[in-house]
Amino acid sequence: MTEVEYVPGTWVAVVGERTWLLLAVAPESALVRRCWELVRSDEPLDEVLSAIVLEGFRAVSGFALLTANRAVVRGEARLQVMNAAGAVEEITAAGVGTWVDRNLDDVARLRVVAGVSGPGLPVRAGVVLANELLVAVSDTAPQPVPQSVPVPQPVPVPVEHIVVQQEEAVELTVVREQPAPPPTSTQITQVTGVIQSFDWAPQNTPAATPAPPVPARQPVTETVLRTTMMSPNDTQMLQGTRTGLVRARKCPAGHLSSDYAVYCRVCEVPLPEQVAAMLPVPVLGLLRLSTGDTISLDRNVVMGRDPSGDRGGVNLVQVGRENDTEISRTHVEIRPANWDVLVRDLGSMNGTSISRPGCPPEKLAPHIDEILYPGTRVTLGDQFFFVFEVSG
């Protein structure tokens, strides 16, 4: 007999008899009712997937759709699969623009992680708000793996961090921080972790009448940083300042990594066996701008020619000149999400491209999150760029 538990949270969990879904969508969305009708009627997995795709990825940033023999994962959701022998495999869609579709075999337990951990509650069928789903497919499933046993992870490839210098002369950089609004504002706190039960992109002028020389494009030479505070009515940004506690493990040098990591995310040495502890949320890295400035990723960052507007709890980073149309007014967003750093083009006019280490440039699709790996270079338009670097 299949048993299902959930950890209360902010995603929408749709639980049926043989199909289970964790969905990053507003609970009042009509998609929730449509998915529930399909799951309750025991429709094929492809029918549920079609309903999600029809809604569009702008409305659904992530999901995990499961049966006992197939899984479809997109966005920030992580699926951990345990077989009858106790071996654990993790399935994610990190770095994938669409989704990951996998056939499953010999499944004993399934666990989907999408946010903050907590005590599990039983659910037989229905729709609940959840951060995790735990499915025991059969009564023969083994006991949960002790937390001290590390889950095998892919060995990360060492990356040489390269900082590209500006070729032309760089003027004096001005960094100004404006005072925050009155203290009536609030900030959103993000805490991440997992449950302890499973460690799972001239026209030639005639010679007779030469055209006057065209002045060369001026490089981006000024960066203005404005820190804003979260307004109670602001719902455009997902998270504000990263504060609070998170389940983490330490390397010998004291760097923090996720409680399911095998190698340190900073120095890349193997993590010693240990029980994860609740520790202060670390800053995941910094952005090294082509102007020479650095921006710490202690909160969301929005860059553009004039990134103003109702965007609370973020760093608004003004780059370029006022009359420079290569960079849109509000061009790109960078935000920490759990243990990942995501980048999103905000519908800019000239687009955003990323160059991962050892890979050719790739243009971002508007309004779709992509994971930033250490050493990735992000270019706005064709003249300004920054490089993501991890930190301890």
pLDDT in tens, 372-381: 989 999 999 8
Q: Which of 147-161, 230-244, 339-353 ranks highest by mean pLDDT?
A: 339-353
The answer to whether the CB of 244 falls within 8 A of the CB of 190 is yes
Beta bridge partners of 103: 70
Give the Cα-Cα-Cα angle 205, 211, 216 (nearest 5 degrees).
105
> What is the pLDDT of the chain when averaged over all its residues?
77
Dist CA 86 CA 88 (whole Å)? 6
pLDDT band at 12 (very low <50, low <70, confident <90, very high): very high
The answer to whether the CB of 248 falls within 8 A of the CB of 277 is yes
Tokens of 69: 């023999």
Residue 354 in domain? yes
Residue 54 in domain? yes
The answer to whether the CB of 75 falls within 8 A of the CB of 62 is yes
Query: Does the structure show a pLDDT above 90 at 385?
Result: yes
Question: Looking at the structure, do residues 130 and 166 belong to the same domain, yes or no?
Answer: no
Dist CA 182 CA 187 (whole Å)? 13
Give the Cα-Cα-Cα angle 234, 239, 243 (nearest 5 degrees).
125
pLDDT value of position 263? 87
pLDDT value of position 323? 72
Question: 106: which DSSP letter?
Answer: S
Longest CA–CA separation in the chain, Å: 89
Question: Looking at the structure, do residues 249 and 237 belong to the same domain, yes or no?
Answer: no
pLDDT value of position 186? 39
Question: Looking at the structure, do residues 252 and 177 belong to the same domain, yes or no?
Answer: no
Question: Looking at the structure, do residues 264 and 237 belong to the same domain, yes or no?
Answer: no
Contacts of residue 22, Cβ cutoff 8 Å, sequence gap at least 6: 11, 12, 13, 63, 64, 77, 112, 114, 130, 132, 133
Tokens of 225: 């940083």
Closest by CA position to 222, among listed 305, 316, 291 = 291
Which CATH number do you get for residue 325? 2.60.200.20
Dist CA 199 CA 13 (whole Å)? 21
Question: Looking at the structure, do residues 168 and 64 belong to the same domain, yes or no?
Answer: no
Residue 225 in domain? yes
Contacts of residue 197, Cβ cutoff 8 Å, sequence gap at least 6: 120, 134, 144
Question: Looking at the structure, do residues 76 and 57 belong to the same domain, yes or no?
Answer: yes
Residue 227 burial class via C-beta count within 10 angstroms: exposed 0-12, middle 13-18, buried 19 and up:
middle
Dist CA 66 CA 74 (whole Å)? 12
pLDDT band at 153 (very low <50, low <70, confident <90, very high): low
Question: Looking at the structure, do residues 126 and 171 belong to the same domain, yes or no?
Answer: no
The answer to whether the CB of 312 falls within 8 A of the CB of 237 is yes
Residue 306 burial class via C-beta count within 10 angstroms: exposed 0-12, middle 13-18, buried 19 and up:
middle
CA atoms in the 13 A half-sphere facing the CB of 197: 23
Question: Looking at the structure, do residues 271 and 294 belong to the same domain, yes or no?
Answer: no
Domain count along the chain: 3
Residue 146 in domain? no
What would the mean pLDDT of 119-137 be, rounded to a whole number?
91
Question: Looking at the structure, do residues 271 and 391 belong to the same domain, yes or no?
Answer: no
Residue 307 in domain? yes
Residue 213 in domain? no
Which residues span the domain enclosing 268? 245-277
Question: Looking at the structure, do residues 254 and 309 belong to the same domain, yes or no?
Answer: no
Residue 127 in domain? yes
pLDDT value of position 223? 63
Question: Looking at the structure, do residues 86 and 130 belong to the same domain, yes or no?
Answer: yes
pLDDT band at 147 (very low <50, low <70, confident <90, very high): very low
* pLDDT tens, position by position, 55-95: 887 788 889 999 999 999 998 899 999 988 888 899 998 87
pLDDT value of position 140? 44
Host H or E run for residue 363: strand 362-363
Higher pLDDT: 150 or 99? It is 99
What would the mean pLDDT of 306-310 be, rounded to a whole number?
70
Question: Looking at the structure, do residues 28 and 175 belong to the same domain, yes or no?
Answer: no
pLDDT value of position 231? 36
User: What is the number of residues in the chain?
Assistant: 392
Residue 214 in domain? no
